[in-house]
Structure 1
Amino acid sequence: MATEIKAPVFPESVADGTIATWHKQPGEAVSRDEVICDIETDKVVLEVVAPADGTIVTIIKGEGDTVLSAEVIAQFEEGAVSGAAATEAVQGEAKVEQAAANTQAGAAPVVERAQQVQDQAPAVRKALTETGIAATDVAGTGRGGRITKEDVANHQTKPAATAAAPLSVAVGERIEKRVPMTRLRKRVAERLLAATQETAMLTTFNEVNMKPIMEMRAQYKDAFEKRHGARLGFMSFFVKAATEALKRYPAVNASIDGDDIVYHGYYDIGVAVSSERGLVVPVLRDTDRMNYAEVENGIRDFAYKARDGKLGIEDMTGGTFTITNGGTFGSLLSTPILNTPQTAILGMHKIQERPMAVNGQVEILPMMYLALSYDHRLIDGKEAVGFLVTIKELLEEPAKLILDL
């Protein structure tokens, strides 16, 4: 008996999602808890798993279709079915249809065309039928060479003589490639644009001598890793320094809600992480209560989750302040964009040796530029500069940070 497979129940902040990928097709056997579908929302990619061993019967929502919370997306039939048995069943059906087609020479192209269309996902079948394009003429770029709706759309733009041409469009020796923007990338673009248009954003800069932290890290990193099972990086120092600075400058930890200012009595710091699907900002909760090892482990776990597409909405929700590290990619200086409704964001950059004047002498020191972008509607220049100078001083004298001085 067929049962319904539904989309996950989305949080209130997520209105709907888009079917990103079907990993299984009708007739294919699946195992319990095996991922069968990915649904992309504005914030994260959610996985839909098989409720039991069985077979996908029908796909109701194809790739690219919009789905609502808990909406039915497929029909599933429970019961252990080996992969070989499922394959034989599909091949058997194809052979029967092919035999019937061979008995009617005149109808053969029609039957073959129908079979080609039927083998595709629902959204692709619809696109092929509406356009009249043969499935064999389209180069599939999906998983296992399957055809996607974008493949059909791109094929339509090609001249008739270039059947099965790839997605790239050659103009002389110059090549262009047009792909749809992912839902997550589109949402990130909207938020960044809104931040520049709806806030009075301003950036102030400073620089920090990283030598004290680098020396401390070199001295204790092995013992730290042995004791806590975590590598001692620079980010934990920045998170703890930012937390202390936020305590001293509450406006930087606040947000604007309409005509109200909301001062947060807790410290949830988001750490910007680049993933294949776009920029995401998972949040470390209550950083004032975390030690350095907990910060490092939290950031490491977020990096793994982002890489594997496992970040949940609960990992991304909230946040009172954000830190982004463009130095990872070699950036020397930048002006980070606010992560609204937050009112400030700290930008870290590449550590680079530069000649610096120290007590009348020139020394070569590992320096890093810091940037603080802030909403001038709430934060005055004096507070912004004071906040950034506090972070600089705490990082250049880490003993004060550790001893809470």
Structure 2
Amino acid sequence: MAESITMPQLGESVTEGTIIRWLVQIGDKVKQYDPLCEVTTDKVTVEVPSVTSGVITEIVVSEGDTVQVGAVICRIETAEFSPAVWKLIQEHGLDSSQLKGTGRFGRITRNDVMEFLEKRGALVEDMGSPSEQGELEEKVPVTAVRKAIARRMSQSKQEIPHAWTMIECDVTSLVQFRNEIKEQFQRTEGVALTYFPFFMKAVTEALKEFPILNSQWAGEHIILKKEINLSFAVAADRALYTPVIRNADRMDIAGLARTVHQLARKARAGSLTIEDVSGGTFTVNNTGSFGSVLSAPIINYPQAAMLTFEAIVKRPALVDGMLVEIDKVNMCLSMDHRVLDGWVCGQFLQRIRNRLESFGTGTDLYSYSV
């Protein structure tokens, strides 16, 4: 059956949107949550995801056209298989995206499944060792999400003149404090207390003092954002998503921890909404979670900067004439050099460092201002 995809509501006061670019063509197969097109309004530019899986049968709105919220922009023939075909796919543990449907609008038939199984069986019988096969490379299909990421990253690097700086921070007191309270926090809140919400809190306070970091380039002027909406990166299913914590500066550390957990879980479950990923004004990334100690992030277009927090590592240091072991973390900032210069970015990073180094025993996780 055909499913009509409509122009979504992209904000409380938004009544229309303009199709910038279609990411699919007629005949393309899509899965639920795959991006269909880029839409812009006077407030945000977002990707519209598919609400169902199936085949694109009609594109109603052309690139550059502006339509009202609720108007049909394309139609999808839903990829519903008969119960018998679906059961057959499940019994053999197949991925339906690997199957080429020969039915109407690309639907998968029983014959399609059986032919795939026969070919796979013949392939297994013929397979020898890698050296016998001579297979030295493999072609991996590029998903729609990966294509969207590639396009965004290319746009950022081509349009934004990136500059980069790094500062080191002593977080020994923070590490000790977090180790003291993490188990109690887990029992009380039901989520793990990582270092990330502490990092976010320090960033939001610094952004209030240096609002130029919370901006974007707009040609003839620079747009200073009044709200502090933190985007953060979440890796899920071989893709990268950037959900947004709105008005992050109005949250305490505990609230940030809960919100990060909730949005990360939605990202990995593939249930993020347009509202969840739109409106970000500054991006932070916890690259240290997988061991990185140094990175040069690509700015989340069209924002003016992106900050990564690297792995916390133990290093020797002289304190009051004594050699001791302290915990250090690197903060790496990529900036849009059209908007930002080294001086203000250096001041911004120093303010974050001062805040992080002040966290320790006695820090109130439930205070708006810490």
- Please provide the CA RMSD for this pair: 4.0
Q: What is the CA distance between 1:136 and its match in structure 2?
A: 8.0
Structure 2 residue aligned with 1:74, among 72, 77, 91? Answer: 77
Structure-2 separation of matches of 1:366 and 1:340: 33
The code of the aligned residue for 1:345 comes to M
Distance 1:163 1:197, change over 3 A: same
Q: Alignment partner of 1:302: what SS?
A: helix
Corresponding residue of 2:97: none
Structure 2 residue aligned with 1:321, among 275, 282, 287? Answer: 282
Q: Alignment partner of 2:50: what SS?
A: strand
- The answer to whether residue 243 in structure 2 is matched with residue 282 in structure 1 is yes
Q: Alignment partner of 1:48: what SS?
A: coil
Structure-2 separation of matches of 1:136 and 1:237: 51
Structure-2 separation of matches of 1:238 and 1:339: 18
Note if contact 2:165-2:333 (Cα within 8 Å) is conserved in structure 1: yes
Q: What is the CA distance between 1:355 and its match in structure 2?
A: 1.4
Structure-2 separation of matches of 1:306 and 1:249: 30
Q: What is the CA distance between 1:377 and its match in structure 2?
A: 1.5
Corresponding residue of 1:296: 257
The code of the aligned residue for 1:40 comes to P
The code of the aligned residue for 1:6 comes to S
Structure-2 separation of matches of 1:218 and 1:195: 38
Corresponding residue of 2:335: 374
- The answer to whether residue 52 in structure 2 is matched with residue 48 in structure 1 is yes
Identity of aligned residues (%): 29
Structure 1 residue aligned with 2:352, among 386, 391, 398? Answer: 391
Corresponding residue of 1:272: 233
Note if contact 2:234-2:242 (Cα within 8 Å) is conserved in structure 1: yes
Corresponding residue of 1:182: 143
Corresponding residue of 2:292: 331
Structure-2 separation of matches of 1:118 and 1:236: 47
Q: What is the CA distance between 1:226 and its match in structure 2?
A: 3.7
Corresponding residue of 1:122: 105
The code of the aligned residue for 2:182 comes to K
Structure 2 residue aligned with 1:306, among 264, 267, 272? Answer: 267
Note if contact 2:34-2:144 (Cα within 8 Å) is conserved in structure 1: no
Note if contact 2:29-2:56 (Cα within 8 Å) is conserved in structure 1: no
Distance 1:353 1:321, change over 3 A: same
Distance 1:364 1:61, change over 3 A: same
Note if contact 1:139-1:164 (Cα within 8 Å) is conserved in structure 2: no
Structure-2 separation of matches of 1:137 and 1:228: 50
What TM-score results when the alignment is normalised by the length of structure 2? 0.73
Structure-2 separation of matches of 1:304 and 1:401: 27
Structure-1 separation of matches of 2:311 and 2:60: 42
Corresponding residue of 1:99: none
Distance 1:135 1:327, change over 3 A: same
Structure-2 separation of matches of 1:370 and 1:212: 17
Distance 1:118 1:76, change over 3 A: closer
Distance 1:224 1:61, change over 3 A: same
The code of the aligned residue for 1:312 comes to T
Q: What is the CA distance between 1:224 and its match in structure 2?
A: 2.8
Once the two structures are superposed, the pairs formed by residues 122-201 of structure 1 within 5 Å of their partners are: 122-123=105-106, 139=116, 173-201=134-162
Distance 1:60 1:264, change over 3 A: closer
The one-character-per-residue Cα deviations of 1:39-63 (angstroms, maximum 9, x if unpaired) are 43364753329xxxxxxxxx7647x
Distance 1:305 1:199, change over 3 A: same
Structure 2 residue aligned with 1:205, among 146, 152, 166? Answer: 166
Note if contact 1:41-1:184 (Cα within 8 Å) is conserved in structure 2: no
Structure-2 separation of matches of 1:175 and 1:17: 31
Note if contact 2:235-2:241 (Cα within 8 Å) is conserved in structure 1: yes
What TM-score results when the alignment is normalised by the length of structure 1? 0.67
Structure-1 separation of matches of 2:162 and 2:132: 41
Note if contact 2:79-2:107 (Cα within 8 Å) is conserved in structure 1: no
Q: What is the CA distance between 1:262 and its match in structure 2?
A: 0.9
Q: Computing the radius of gyration over CA atoms, which structure comes out larger, 1 or 2?
A: 1
Structure-2 separation of matches of 1:392 and 1:118: 56
Structure 1 residue aligned with 2:204, among 243, 246, 251? Answer: 243
Q: What is the CA distance between 1:225 and its match in structure 2?
A: 3.3
- The answer to whether residue 298 in structure 2 is matched with residue 340 in structure 1 is no
Q: Alignment partner of 1:179: what SS?
A: coil
Structure-1 separation of matches of 2:296 and 2:263: 24
Structure-2 separation of matches of 1:307 and 1:279: 10
Q: What is the CA distance between 1:375 and its match in structure 2?
A: 1.2
Structure-2 separation of matches of 1:397 and 1:359: 19
Structure-2 separation of matches of 1:162 and 1:137: 14
Q: What is the CA distance between 1:390 and its match in structure 2?
A: 1.0
Structure 2: tracts of 5 or more residues without a match: 11-16, 38-46, 62-71, 89-99
Q: Alignment partner of 2:306: what SS?
A: strand
Corresponding residue of 1:5: 3
Aligned residues, how many? 320
Distance 1:307 1:377, change over 3 A: same
Corresponding residue of 1:55: none
Note if contact 1:204-1:371 (Cα within 8 Å) is conserved in structure 2: yes
The one-character-per-residue Cα deviations of 1:82-105 (angstroms, maximum 9, x if unpaired) are x8xx649x99xxxxxxxxxxxxxx
Note if contact 2:30-2:50 (Cα within 8 Å) is conserved in structure 1: no
